[in-house]
Amino acid sequence: MTQNEREDVVKKRLFLVLVGVISCLLLQIPAISQSSVSLTGIVSSDAEGPMEGVLVKAKQASGNITITVVSDAQGRYAFPTSKINPGQYTLSVRATGYEVPNRSMPVTVGAETTKADIKLRKVSTFVLVDQLTPAEIINSLPGTPAQARSVSECGVCHSMSRILKSTHDPEEWKAVILRMRNHTPSANDTHPESLPFHVPLGASDEALANYLATINLSTKSEWDYQFKPYPRLKGESTKVIITEYDLPRRDGEPHDAVMDTEGMIWYADFVAPILGRLNPRTGEFKEWPLPEIKAGFPHGSLGVALDPNGNPWIGRAFQGGVATMDKKTEKITSYRIPKEFDNEFVRNTFIAVGNDGTVCFDDPFNRNIFVLDPETGKVNGYPAYPGWKFDLGTRNGTGPNGEKDTHFMYGVAMDSKGTCYWGDTANRNIGAIDTRPGKTTLYPTPTPNSFPNRIEMAADDQLWFAEINAKKIGHFDTKTKKFQEWAALGDDDPYGVALDSAGFAWTGGTPTDY
């Protein structure tokens, strides 16, 4: 890996963004009057003239907050005074196919409105590849749609441009695939981390290796296919403000995040044993180390939830348990799952807390649901799919009557009555377990193989979820047991769903960055 690639990876891990990660504040904004604007200008290029849909980023010198606005139909961008104070800033852009000379532009913002026009230049194809989203790359690749989609999994954890710029032949690719299969999802360049078990090459990996060698630079000096960027967004899509916060650690990997009633954001770190808190008003962070539960296993976490007292709970993934912190005393308490449920495949990833303080969390690889009584500290485990036996290495299973099917779990939530729900993200079901008697029920979505994902319970016991394989978002009425589904836009694979105060459902498209 080159130094530039290492720097790019580090930079991509510096931000907390709430469509997939932590606090991207998207606000619909009306036209801003000149008197309320602190910094404005026209974005243009020789190729297009004034450019609409360019993301313009402003970061104050020595600060950790980046504010982004989007240029309008006249190419004008405008930062409101409520977001940008007088001081020294660095401007940069995101506009596929273009860049600011020297990659950034210094500007001094004064007490009156500061004007700074931005002239962009076109980039080479070699640079363009680094700017493309996974969806744009997948849609540009030669071969069958199935071959192109087979590459998408590689782009979950790092830029897909690494694949295209590599020079590996098929045999070298098989070694790379084997190495990637046996790293944790949270592994990165500065923190390589192996799984606690070994995953061999699969039946389709040789075909994948052969295909990867046809789309990279192993046999040619430049790509023999055309890249197809999406057009920049227009109209209402430009009327947003995005706020990003640099983590205090350069190698930080924020994953899930929740906002408490005081407006503070609590987050997990995917690789480090850390529980963090962000004050989005000031950009101030505070982090607490989490104690080790299971020696010799990866330390990162994933899911975060708040109990009725506002105390954060966190799923410890490979550590085989969960933890909570008393906000008043800052004391952290860990809970380990029962020994009979513990093995090297355990991942206690997602977590939810009911109105009475009961805690529900999952173990997707072993297909178990756990219920914790915080008063007694007792943890009970239940099979999420009773009667099913699984090959833990392949996710394939056999049902009680010999039927072949696949199940997995990704996301949990609890309703006001204490029922714990989860998404069956390798099938089509919303699972439910009454945490008192431990009875499990599966509710199939209208669309087969929809892969329900990242579920969220609204205050009125209405369950919202993404259907990542069906390119839809779904709604389940926990009272009537009825479903509704809506198709997402374009190439989006919806990852999760969140409701805003006006009742709109928002989703993040994993391959498109929309």
pLDDT higher than threshold 50 for residue 17: no
Beta-sheet pairing, 368-373 with 452-457: unpaired
pLDDT higher than threshold 50 for residue 181: yes
pTM for this predicted structure: 0.89
Lowest mean pLDDT segment, chosen from 33-42, 112-121, 463-472: 33-42
Mean pLDDT in residue range 403-414: 90
pLDDT at 33: 54
pLDDT higher than threshold 90 for residue 98: yes
- Give dist(CA 70, CA 216) in Å, integer: 33
- Give, in order, the Cα–Cα distances in Å from 314 to each of 75, 146, 169, 193, 345: 44, 37, 42, 21, 19
Beta-sheet pairing, 242-246 with 472-477: unpaired
Which among 444, 447, 452, 446 is positioned nearest to 426, based on CA atoms? 452
Selected residue with higher pLDDT from 404 and 305: 305
152: phi then psi, degrees, rounded to nearest 5: -60, -35
Q: Within 10 Å of residue 340's Cβ, how many Cβ atoms?
A: 7
pLDDT at 392: 61
CA 429 remoteness from chain centre: 22
Give the sign of the dihedral formed by CA 511, CA 473, CA 241, CA 53.
positive
For 348-406, what is each residue's pLDDT tens digit? 999 999 999 999 999 998 999 999 998 999 999 999 998 888 776 565 678 777 777 88
Q: Tokens 């029922």 label which residue? A: 419
For 203-260, what is each residue's pLDDT tens digit? 889 999 999 999 999 999 999 999 999 999 999 999 999 999 999 988 888 989 999 9
pLDDT higher than threshold 90 for residue 513: no
pLDDT at 184: 85
pLDDT at 430: 98
pLDDT at 443: 97
Q: Read off the tokens for 56.
A: 């313009």
pLDDT higher than threshold 80 for residue 455: yes
pLDDT at 27: 38
Band of residue 334 on the pLDDT scale cut at 50, 70, 90:
very high
pLDDT at 389: 80
Torsion of CA 103, 108, 114, 115, to 10 degrees: -30
pLDDT at 306: 97
Selected residue with higher pLDDT from 350 and 15: 350
For 130-158, what is each residue's pLDDT tens digit? 999 999 999 999 999 999 988 887 877 77
Residues 462, 443, 407, CA angle at the centre, nearest 5°?
115
pLDDT at 6: 37
For 47-87, what is each residue's pLDDT tens digit? 999 999 999 999 999 899 999 999 999 999 999 999 999 99
pLDDT at 387: 86
pLDDT higher than threshold 60 for residue 4: no
Q: Does residue 173 come out as left (phi exceeding 0), alpha (psi in the -120 to 50 range) or beta?
A: alpha
Residues 366, 367, 373, CA angle at the centre, nearest 5°?
100
For 430-448, what is each residue's pLDDT tens digit? 999 987 777 899 999 999 9
Which among 179, 182, 170, 158 is positioned nearest to 213, based on CA atoms? 170
- Give dist(CA 17, CA 244) in Å, integer: 6
Mean pLDDT in residue range 157-167: 90
pLDDT at 32: 55
3: phi then psi, degrees, rounded to nearest 5: -60, -40
Which among 496, 456, 462 is positioned nearest to 476, based on CA atoms? 462
- Give dist(CA 257, CA 314) in Å, integer: 10
- Give dist(CA 402, CA 392) in Å, integer: 17
- Give dist(CA 20, CA 4) in Å, integer: 25
Mean pLDDT in residue range 124-129: 96
Helices H / strands E in the chain, number of each: 7, 37
- Give dist(CA 105, CA 434) in Å, integer: 57
For 182-202, what is each residue's pLDDT tens digit? 988 888 777 888 888 888 988
Selected residue with higher pLDDT from 77 and 4: 77
pLDDT higher than threshold 70 for residue 478: yes
